[in-house]
Amino acid sequence: MKQILGLLMLMFSAVALGQTGTIEGTLSDKETNNEPLPFANVIIKGTTKGATTDFDGKYIIENVPVGTYEVEFSFVGYEPVTVPNVVVQAGKFTNVSTALGASAAALDEVVIQVQTSRERESALLLEQKKAVEIKESIGAVQLAKQGVTDAATATTKISGVTASQASGDIYVRGLGDRYLYTTMNGLPIPSDDVEKKNFDLGLFTTRVIQNVGISKTYGVSNSADQASGTIDVATKELSGTKELGVGIRVGANTNATQSGVSDNFKLTGNKGDYTLGFLKNQGFNETTQASSPGYSAYPRMTQQTWNTSTANFPMNYRYAITAGKKFGEKFKVLFTASQSGDFTYRNGVFRQYRENNIDDSITDATYYNRRVTTTGLLNTEYKINDKNDVRWVSLFVNSLSDQVFEGGRNGEATIFEEESRDDVFQFIRDQNTKQTRLWVNQFFGNHELSEKNTLDWGVGINLLSADEPNRVRNEVNITPDADFVQLGVTGGFQQRKSFQLIDDEELAGFIKDTYVLNEDFDTGSKSEISGGLNVRMKSRNFKSQFLGATESNAGADFGSVSIDNLDVIFTDENFRSGDLNFQFLPTDRYIADLESQSAFAAYTLQKEKFNLNVGMRFQCDAIDVLFDVNNFPGRRGATNKEYTNLYPSVNFKYNLTEDQGVRFAGSRTITLPEFKEIAPFEYVSPVGQVTKGNPDLEASINYNFDLKYEWFPSSDELLSVAAFYKMINDPINKVQQRGSAGIFSYFNAGDQANIFGLELEGRVNIVKPVEDSGNIGVRLSGNITRMFHEQDLKEIYDENGTLLRTFKYNGKSDEGLQGASDWIVNGTLGFSTAEENPWELNVVGNYASSKIFALGAPRNQQEPDVFFNESIVEQGFVVLDAVLSKQVTDGFAVKLTGRNLLDPAIEQTQIQRPTNGDPVFNATVQSYTLGRTFLLGLTYDF
């Protein structure tokens, strides 16, 4: 930890020199109907800088000092052309395109445009520098250098952001899934998981990403349903005239390829139901009735296997293709597609405690997981004329996860409700296949109605299906030598198959009009007003059903049975004879709708020294959930939530110098409860932990304040320090339920939560490479966040003063915020050679200190200081990655990536206070490692 902090502090002693930009463009041949002209010379007159056009007539001259130049184009047998007054600006890309012929080109045949590439770090820093709101982004170029393969990992390279290994949630400034708002190109996208509010960003491969940005302060043109910020994934678009590239990557995870695993990597029995990551057999149909007792449903129990299958070769891979072309001056299209396959394996311990006594213990909790993700992106843009253009973006994602969990194969597992004989233990296997399909279609328009008036609009239509067609679970009793197998005898549905389906449909849109009131180009002052409307209509249809098999006589002897061949028990003969009985539960369902309608207005004033943006948003949110579930008294119920509020925001920026500025932001926002948080459906994890919704949950109201200093020493460097404060009324937390171990739900556990934090960030060139010198450049990027957070634990009384519920326990009246780490550190140390085809090495480290996974709770409301469960805490750890790449030729590159090189233990702990007088100890409730992953990638751009 000290080494990481010391390394990151170097960024604040590094001094940057100079500001540069880039000149690039295309040269065509007038003698061949403006076909590309390759191998022509491009020289910046008066300097030693220049380039040669490639086969497509393209050229690029990087690291050009800021200034005004003359650029000369020449080719043997053609008249040279000199373009005067080419202005190079810091961090920008000046496009100079022209044509050569037998006679010199006229001046009006030269096209000069100043633009930014939103995939490059310097361009994104320039955008951050000019923005009024506090925003940070990371582009595709930087992601590639750090070996990042998806948007979820990309967010962790931004200050104050962590990812939980236990839940998979993204945390921004200590606030997790429910406090975030995720968009694609500024429009919302649906969640793929009943347990999540936001879509799994891990499904966005970097092949479809232009950049990932996080707005940590609120602007009224965005939804107010956020507290920590908005994550926006900007999809890739064609930046030149054409593009064609292919890539392939192969590798392996050391856990998955170790001896005893690689030759027996378990997959579910559904393996034959999918091909190339696509399900072809959709599993069960819903059961509504059964005859003679359930005979019509026997095929579900007997014809689909209860056993696992195996993978032949658990190697990771990815292949991808990108193609794009600009047709004329009006229309351009880009298509990119990829498929990846990943195998992961982990083995560790799982324990569950209740009232400081152990209930469940599995010392060989083992997960096998195979994931196949197929992604396709189509991005088209049509420029109607100089003042109007429209764009269509279509994204398709298909992700298939095949997971097998096993516990107790070593003959040591004990589950509290099962057989407690000294010579009998338990074995659990849970098989689940999940397919997620997302299809997003977005339409955008930009219209310059006049010199002062601009209209922007966007419409998104999202369709999502998350299908778990055939989940299989077995809980059996065994002896250590495995010569005895008995079906679980306590409780119901211990031998079961189930299905679950989520169908989401969503329509979202916005329209925004911006009018310039006054603009003075000489002084740089400008004032404008903007206003518009937002609408979001989302509906969900959810259903799930359990189908089970039980013995007619508990403890029946089925003969010699292996835990690897339970099919010999669940036979048609055993059902017909009555040795096994079929049972089913009525289908769990809920139908949910969200309608959000908003109007907003903002005023922006820009002067030489400051920018001010003030705005107000009126937002009306209505959530309606109708449910019919087994675990709710009477099964049926409804919950309706309506919130209508005004949400103000102010963003102020003061420029101390041209390269230094101070920002302040303040806002009021809301955190809406999610469908899964208020629908009382119980979702059972592979280890048996249950999470269910709470219909009484209410929204949180948030007050957010930020103060930040930024210094941009050069176009690709940044030093900043920020302080932030958040006050959350009625914070929502994941809490352990009273009365039963292993059940979690969602509550407004406190009246108020307070979060204060400091962020330190830097991106500096320790040694700046000199072009074609052969020296080694050294670059350091990193950030440190320190947070202080607490929430009071409240008590709830009825109108007569009777205590209904308390969240206080063990003498505690306050607690930290769920998911918040005290320390977050991210850093990247990069080395590159200054040559035509450079080597690059980037070492990337991330650290997040301990955080609460789930709040503790009393088990007895009358004696909360005696009977209670302590909080479950996820311990901090360091992740270290390394990426070595080589540009072999202009189009061919090689990359070697090593991930999770330290392979730290991922551990959850819970303090136990034995009532028998034994010492207090910190028990490990879950622990495992993820293994190291090594990948070799090859790319070729034509």
The pLDDT tens digits for 250-304 are 999 999 999 889 999 999 998 888 888 888 865 555 665 544 444 455 566 777 8
Q: Is the pLDDT of residue 106 over 80?
A: no
Q: Do domains 2-115 and 250-941 have the same CATH topology?
A: no
CA dihedral angle for residue 737, residue 743, residue 748, residue 751, rounded to 10 degrees:
40
Element (H, E) at 127: helix 121-130
Question: Cβ(904)–Cβ(218) under 8 Å?
Answer: no
Q: Tell me what pLDDT residue 290 has.
A: 47
| Tokens of residue 64, six digits | 């050009």
Strand (E) or helix (H) holding 299? helix 298-302
Pairwise CA distance, residues 761 & 837, whole Å: 30
Nearest to 782 by CA among 839, 723, 843, 706: 843
Amino acid letter, residue 424: V
As a whole number of angstroms, the distance between CA 304 and CA 301 comes to: 7
Dihedrals phi, psi of 222, to nearest 5 degrees? -100, 165
Quote the pLDDT of residue 16: 33
Mind listing the pLDDT tens digit for each residue in 674-721?
888 888 888 877 777 788 888 999 999 999 999 999 998 887 788 999
Q: Please report the pLDDT score of residue 10 as a whole number.
A: 35
- Closest CA relative to residue 264, chosen from 364, 366, 400, 365: 366
Q: Does the domain formed by 2-115 have CATH 1.10.287.130?
A: no
DSSP result, 585-635:
PPPEEEEEEEEEEEEEEEEEEE-SSEEEEEEEEEEEEEEEEEEE-TTSTTS
Task: For residues 743 and 627, give the distance between their C-alpha atoms in angstroms, rounded to a whole number.
Answer: 20
Instruction: Give 477-535 pLDDT, tens digit per residue.
Output: 888 765 678 888 766 788 889 888 889 999 999 999 999 998 876 676 889 999 999 99
For 388-421, how does the pLDDT look when each residue is reduced to its tens digit (9 = 90+)? 999 999 999 899 999 999 999 998 888 876 766 6
User: Which uninterrupted H or E stretch holds 322?
Assistant: strand 316-327
pLDDT of residue 18: 40
Q: What is the pLDDT of residues 331-361, one digit of tens each?
A: 999 999 999 999 999 999 999 888 788 888 9
What does the longest C-alpha to C-alpha distance in the chain come to?
A: 99
The tens digit of pLDDT for each residue in 855-906 reads 888 877 778 888 888 888 999 999 898 989 888 887 888 989 998 999 999 9
d(CA 519, CA 525): 6
C-alpha–C-alpha distance, residues 1 and 772, integer Å: 37
Averaged pLDDT for residues 152-157 = 66
Lowest mean pLDDT among 70-84, 173-187, 440-454: 173-187
- Which pLDDT value is given to residue 73? 92
Report the alpha-carbon angle 669-671-672, nearest 5.
Answer: 130
Of 651, 783, 785, 786, the C-alpha closest to 718 is 783
Average pLDDT over residues 17-32: 75
φ/ψ of 105, rounded to 5, equals -75, 140
How does strand 743-747 pair with strand 690-692? parallel
At residue 58 the predicted structure's pLDDT band, cuts being 50, 70 and 90, is: confident
- Distance of alpha carbon 489 from its chain centroid, rounded? 41
Q: What is the pTM of this model?
A: 0.81
Q: Does 581 score more than 90 pLDDT?
A: no
Do residues 438 and 496 make contact, with C-beta atoms less than 8 angstroms apart? no
Q: Could you state, in order of their start, the residue ranges of all structural domains in the chain?
A: 2-115, 250-941
Please report the beta strands in 386-494, taking only residues with DSSP state E, as ranges in sequence order: 388-407, 425-448, 453-478, 485-487
Instruction: Give the DSSP H or E segment for 153.
Output: helix 151-155
H or E element: which one contains 142? helix 140-145
CATH of 250-941, one of 2.40.170.20, 1.10.3210.10, 3.40.50.2300, 3.90.550.10: 2.40.170.20
pLDDT confidence of residue 392:
95
Among 673, 713, 709, CA closest to 693: 673
Structure confidence at residue 768 as a pLDDT band (50, 70, 90)? confident
* Mean pLDDT, rounded, of the chain: 83
- Amino acid identity of residue 284, one-letter, is F
Question: What is the pLDDT confidence band of residue 127, given thresholds at 50, 70 and 90?
Answer: low
Q: What is the CA radius of gyration of the chain?
A: 30
In the prediction, which pLDDT does 5 show?
38
Take residue 168 and report the two structure tokens written for it.
């998979």
14 has pLDDT over 50: no
N-term to C-term CA, the chain: 44
Tell me the pLDDT tens digit for each residue of 417-459: 676 666 788 999 999 999 989 899 999 999 999 989 999 999 9
Q: What is the pLDDT of residues 863-875, one digit of tens each?
A: 888 888 888 899 9
Could you tell me which of 463, 623, 502, 508 has the C-alpha nearest to residue 188?
Answer: 508
pLDDT above 50: residue 851 = yes
Selection from 672, 441, 675 nearest residue 541 by Cα: 675
State the pLDDT at residue 482.
59
Average pLDDT (563-568) is 90
**Residues 775, 834 contacting (CB under 8 angstroms):** yes
Residue 287, amino acid: T
| Lowest mean pLDDT across 74-78, 488-492, 627-631, 680-684 | 488-492
Quote the pLDDT of residue 934: 94
| Number of Cβ atoms within 10 Å of the Cβ of 429 | 25
Residue 459 token pair: 């419409």
> Model confidence at 604, in pLDDT bands (50, 70, 90)?
very high
Instruction: Quickly count: other Cβ atoms within 10 Å of residue 52's Cβ.
Output: 10
The pLDDT of residue 38 is 81
